[in-house]
Chains A and B, each alone.
Chain A
Amino acid sequence: QSALAQPASVSGSPGQSITISCTGTSSDVGNYNRVSWYQQHPGKAPKVIIYETDKRPSGVSNRFSASKSGNTASLTISGLQAEDEADYSCCSYAGDNTFIFGRGTRLTVL
């Protein structure tokens, strides 16, 4: 079971919007609306920012939004801020209480 495909890196200037893709298969991303996204700052544990494909936990900025089409999920961060610079990983439920993570995307705020 390979990792979900994500771009290794993305970048954007403050105020801009960026989108990170997460591509899986019809056995995971395409089969369940159970994609979650995690933000991880250097030296810190991951933190959930999106769950069930497009839902934000309380306390997470509405600058974070997400969607899914077919086997690809996407995370969009609007109004980029310096504090958004971090690693972002997607994760999909894959049935039978199994999960699969993406390889992670490093976001650089220029």
Chain B
Amino acid sequence: QVQLVQSGSELKESGASVKVSCKASGYTFNRYGIYWVRQAPGQGLEWMGWINTHSGNPTYAQGFTGRFVFSLDTSVSTTYLQIFSLLAEDTAFYYCAREDNWFFDSWGQGTLVTVSS
């Protein structure tokens, strides 16, 4: 079955960087885009952007340009989210999700990134 498995929780200091992974299984990896969604504590879901797993081309939503980078390694069916120069407001759960015909049919379990100041 389709599965997205994310890396574990991270505790980082302000100014550091973090890399979250999302490993896909159960389907042909490069046939579906992978999207990233942020959920700050007690807040709603926020679309961050996506990466085309066929071309590797990333697209970033407004507010997620500059410090956020999506990448992938097709050899291990894994996409990555890197956040540089972490700020306290980056503290959130980060989810990867597979997009199928304009909705997100499978989600990773989420990765909590905590930034201490």
Contact = CB atoms under 8 A, between A and B. Distances in A.
Contacts of B46: 3, 101
Contacts of A51: 101-103, 105
Interface residues of B, number: 23
Interface in A51-85: 51-52, 57
Contacts of A38: 45, 104
B107 interface: yes
Contact of A45 (B35, B47, B109): B109
B63 to A, nearest CB: 9
B44 A89 contact: yes
Given A1-B61, A3-B44, A99-B102, 14 more contacts: A32-B102, A36-B104, A45-B107, A45-B108, A45-B110, A48-B104, A51-B103, A57-B105, A89-B44, A91-B103, A93-B102, A100-B47, A101-B45, A103-B44
Interface of A: 1, 3, 32, 34, 36, 38, 45-48, 51-52, 57, 89, 91, 93, 97-104
9 contacts: A1-B62, A46-B37, A46-B45, A47-B107, A48-B104, A98-B47, A98-B61, A99-B35, A103-B43
